[in-house]
Structure 1
Amino acid sequence: MRKLLLWCLLLPLSGYSQQRLHLTLLGGFSNYQGDLQTKYFTLNQANLAVGAGLQYDITPHIAARIGFHYGSLEADDKQNTGQLRARNLNFHTKLMEGSLLLQYTLFDLSDRRISPYVFAGAAIYHFDPYTYDTLGNKIFLKPLSTEGQGLPQYPNRKEYMLTQFAIPFGGGVKFRVSENATLGFEVGIRKLFTDYLDDLSTRYVDPLILASQRGLKAVEMSYRGGEVKGGNPNYPALNTIRGGEKAKDWYYITGITLSIGLGGKGGGDSYSGWNGRRSQIGCPRVRQ
């Protein structure tokens, strides 16, 4: 009798857990805002991004998400104007991110077909900025210390880490297309704690010191105005502003999402395990 009662207690919980787990997919674009891309949100110079993860529904409104995103970021002064264009710097980087998020959905999708939602959490991301020289050679920028990072002559300019912590947050709208799936549109912004996502932050250093410590290629990649037609080939004076050091960089991932319920009928944000919609499998009543 005890085993029968235990089975009756665990069976509904087992059904609910099957209906609360979802596979999530994202296809869209990634972009950044910083010293080479001054617009806060734009499709200009955006790149494709993809993502996948799992979502566990704690309640019909609150869910925990774990996910992985892959994309790329880039920006070029040739897309800027005025003095920024004359600087002629650019960067590219592959972007890999793992995140853990808490999501709040305004409406219960058991009762409605559409609902807005918001999310926030923590993320670890990896980047490695690079560019191409005039011969088309791929040049990674961090080892060059283009602003004196890590050089003894500039003790206050520390080397930046290529794997860092970020705070992701954002929101979207999702639409239930079946009992087992939802489609949505999501905008996710990442607050960073570095200004070197684009290898650009502060002021120019002494080119002689930079050349002696990191080589002539470092000097060549730290200022490229001479490559522009009619540009100034002379290296800027010491401490001339190169980037805006007061503001950190950002990046964002935006796209179409698909959520598919795992483990049986009633997934995909349908929440059929709540609101009294229990499994039809029952247990015999025990007479006293």
Structure 2
Amino acid sequence: MTKNKHENSNKIYVLLLIFMGLISSVNISAQEYEYEIGGMTGISTYMGDANKNNPFMSPNFAMGVVLRYNRNFRWAYKANFVVGGVSGDTRKSGNVFPNGQNTSFSRTFYEVGGQIEYNFFHYSDKYQYLGTRRFSPYIFTGLGMTIGSGEETFMGMNLPLGIGLKYKWKDRLNLGFEFSFRKLFGDSFDVTKKTGGLSLDDPYKIESSFFKNKDWYLLTMFSVTWDFGVRSKSCVDSLY
């Protein structure tokens, strides 16, 4: 009898351990994280006087790092650093320049910036009772600084405007894709030489404005990010 009671108590103890382990795993999987960090890679292209119509002409390699703060299921703030290349050739642009001149350029640029994102769905793989989804399209805008290398360097602010799609592949692991325009506050992004030949800095000698004679570059990027920074349970209700 004593032996049976001892065996039964052992079984109960094992069951309790299993139950506690299950509860613990549920608590871990239910954790929500505030931050993401990761990398991104893709292509960068240029639009300006040497390319007016084709957003994917002369693609160059681009890569970067990203840090995101998820304020709630809808809104996020993102900081990024990107290195990429741009190039152009007026002979491919379809434009006619003064005196029939043509030129080409190529340069590496460095960007640091910040954006605010709006998710169309409540983005999370937790709290399904709040209507969350593992994926969401999003839009974003912000402000950044761009520096371009070359004999004639470039430095100026940029205004990012973009769309994207994020997907929580596994717990704490996110996959992303985004396409964005970077509108530059300047017209010399495609000027890499100090002298000689056609200058793409206002080649038609037309008075410049924000909407005219300004250069752009575009980023088409894939990203992988990792969640960190456990959010306190008292903040869960504020995520919605």
TM-score with structure 1 length normalisation? 0.59
Query: In the alignment, which of 172, 183, 188 is matched to residue 175 of structure 2?
Result: 183
Cα contact 1:35–1:243 (8 A) shared by 2: no
Structure 1: runs of 5 or more not aligned? 1-14, 130-139, 143-160, 201-216, 225-238, 278-288
Query: In the alignment, which of 87, 104, 108 is matched to residue 90 of structure 1?
Result: 104
Which residue of the partner structure matches residue 28 of structure 1?
42
SS of 1:60 mapped into structure 2: coil
Which residue of the partner structure matches residue 168 of structure 1?
160
Q: 1:67 to 1:240 in 2, by over 3 A?
A: closer
Q: Deviations over 1:239-264 (max 9, x none)?
A: 98378953211111111121211246
Cα contact 2:154–2:188 (8 A) shared by 1: no
Which residue of the partner structure matches residue 250 of structure 1?
216
User: Where do residues 60-99 of structure 1 align in structure 2 (5 Å cutoff)?
Assistant: 60-81=73-94, 83=96, 86-99=100-113
SS of 2:55 mapped into structure 1: coil
Identity of aligned residues (%): 25
Query: In the alignment, which of 112, 123, 127 is matched to residue 148 of structure 2?
Result: 127
Which residue of the partner structure matches residue 65 of structure 2?
52
Which residue of the partner structure matches residue 26 of structure 2?
none
User: Where do residues 100-139 of structure 1 align in structure 2 (5 Å cutoff)?
Assistant: 100-110=114-124, 111-129=132-150
The letter for the 2-side match of 1:60 is F
For residues 242 and 74 of structure 1, the distance between their equivalents in structure 2, rounded to whole angstroms, comes to: 22
Q: Deviations over 1:61-117 (max 9, x none)?
A: 111111100001100123234635x52201111110000111111112222122101
State the 1:121 CA deviation: 0.8
Cα contact 2:117–2:139 (8 A) shared by 1: yes
Q: Say what the alpha-carbon RMSD is for the aligned residues.
A: 3.2
- Number of residue pairs matched? 194
Cα contact 1:99–1:124 (8 A) shared by 2: yes
Q: 1:108 to 1:90 in 2, by over 3 A?
A: same
Structure 2: runs of 5 or more not aligned? 1-29, 125-131
For residues 207 and 136 of structure 2, the distance between their equivalents in structure 1, rounded to whole angstroms, comes to: 39
Cα contact 1:35–1:244 (8 A) shared by 2: no
Q: Deviations over 1:190-237 (max 9, x none)?
A: 11111111129xxxxxxxxxxxxxxxx93xx2249xxxxxxxxxxxxx
Which residue of the partner structure matches residue 222 of structure 1?
197
SS of 1:166 mapped into structure 2: strand
For residues 94 and 47 of structure 1, the distance between their equivalents in structure 2, rounded to whole angstroms, comes to: 9
Which residue of the partner structure matches residue 188 of structure 2?
196
Q: 1:58 to 1:127 in 2, by over 3 A?
A: same
Q: Deviations over 1:106-156 (max 9, x none)?
A: 112222122101111110110134xxxxxxxxxx2x3xxxxxxxxxxxxxx
Q: Which runs of 4+ in 1 moved over 4 A?
A: 242-245
Q: 1:243 to 1:260 in 2, by over 3 A?
A: farther
The letter for the 2-side match of 1:67 is N
TM-score with structure 2 length normalisation? 0.70
Q: Deviations over 1:11-32 (max 9, x none)?
A: xxxx97x811111321101111
For residues 207 and 50 of structure 2, the distance between their equivalents in structure 1, rounded to whole angstroms, comes to: 10
1:274 aligns with 2:236: yes
SS of 2:138 mapped into structure 1: strand
State the 1:276 CA deviation: 9.5
